Every structure is written in C-alpha cells, then in structure tokens.
Amino acid sequence: METDEGDMNTALMVDGNAVAGQLQQIFGRDMTMAMARCAACAREAEMGALMVFTQAPGVVLRCPACQAVIARIVETPSAIYLEARGAAFLRMAAQP
C-alpha cells in the first residue's frame, strides 16, 4: 500500500494491539479486551481497537469514533506515566 503524504498521520497509526505489552506491563494483565469509554463522546471500545500513535516521545491512544485522546503513556528510565483523563472509565473482566 502506498503512503499518501497528505494522510501521513493515518498511515503511521497503529492500534491498541501494538502496545499490548506495555499495557500488560502496567496493569499486570492483558488490557486489549478491556473496554475504554471515551470521556468526550461516550463511545466504548476495546483497548485493542483504540487508535494508537507510537512515533512520538510517548504513546498516544485515541478514540476510534471521535479521535479524542483517551490516554497517554510515557516511560522514563525510572518511571512510567499513564495519563488517562480522556477515559470516562476502563472496564475489565473480574479475575477469578
């Protein structure tokens, strides 16, 4: 598939599957099937289906419906920052 210069951001986009390892490292469980409700538009989507941009100093997760930022993850040598103001909630299955 050719990369359209005018659509560079979309071409660079991946999805929540690409950061599954990072999310699992933070939450201690797979989060790709956890639901995230967008605080902006109230759409719920599996975290695996969120739009994800990794070509930045951190990771940005966006709503697949309205593209609002749901969460950001930044890793430094000594800490991991997770900012999730854009999520009304995350819902995951209770573990037995």
Partner 1 sequence: MEQPVLQWQAGTVTAIRPETLKTKSFTLALPKWMAHRPGQHYDVRLTAPVTAPDGYQTQRSYSIASAPERMGELELTVERIEDGEVSPYLHDVLVPGDQLEVRGPIGGYFVWEVSLGGPLLLIAGGSGVVPLMAMLRHRAAQHATMPTRMLYSSRTADDVIYRDELDALAASDRTFEVFFSFTRQPPEVFFTFTRQPPTGWTGYRRRIDAAMLGEVIKPFDKRARVYLCGPTLLVEAVANTLVQMELPTEQIRTERFGPSGA
- Total number of residues that touch partner 1 (CB under 8 A): 27
15-34 residues near partner 1, rule: CB under 8 A: 15-18, 20-21, 24-25, 28-30, 32-33
> Which is closer to partner 1, CB of 3 or CB of 85?
3
| Contact flags string 38-77 toward partner 1, x per CB under 8 A | --------xxxx----------------------------
**Token reading at 73:** 């993850």
Which of these, 52, 53, 48, lies nearest to 30 by C-alpha position? Answer: 48
Measured over all CA atoms, what is the biggest interatomic distance in the chain, rounded to whole angstroms?
A: 48
Pairing of strands 51-53, 35-38: unpaired
